Amino acid sequence: MRIYKRSLFILFLFCAFSGNCFAEIRGDFRFQKVYENGYGAVTFNHEKHAVSAVKDCGYCHSALKVFGGKVNELFAHKVCKVCHESKNVPAECVSCHRQ
């Protein structure tokens, strides 16, 4: 697990410094999106993450490109969950999945 986290971190560093992290904010980033799935819907508040949690657009958006450009289970569990764990914010299933 430790090697995986280190590899993921290196991947993020590579992506973050590819130029995306210095992009200006364009458009309305204040939105929520609901991802439906069999374990309970996940509501993602983009503004909350962009303004107070992550602040570096490149962190998530570069990783999103690596994962095919769509938020899916693999992206959510390998990027979002790892980030939540690293920032000591709730990362249990019920923290995101609402029945």
Q: Using CA atoms, how far apart are residues 53 and 22, in angstroms rounded to an integer? A: 17
Gap between the Cα atoms of 50 and 33, Å rounded: 14
Contact predicate 73/39, CB 8 Å: no
pLDDT (0 to 100) of residue 7: 59
Count: domains in the chain: 1
Write the Ramachandran bin of 88: left for phi over 0, alpha for psi from -120 to 50, otherwise beta: left
Per-residue pLDDT tens digits for 41-92: 999 999 988 888 887 888 899 999 998 899 999 999 999 999 999 989 999 9
Q: What is the CATH number of the domain that holds 23?
A: 3.90.10.10
Are 82 and 75 within 8 A, CB to CB?
no
The per-residue pLDDT for 23 is 46
Residue range(s) defining the domain that contains residue 88: 2-98
Length of the chain: 99
pLDDT for res 73? 92
Banded pLDDT at 22 (limits 50, 70, 90) = very low
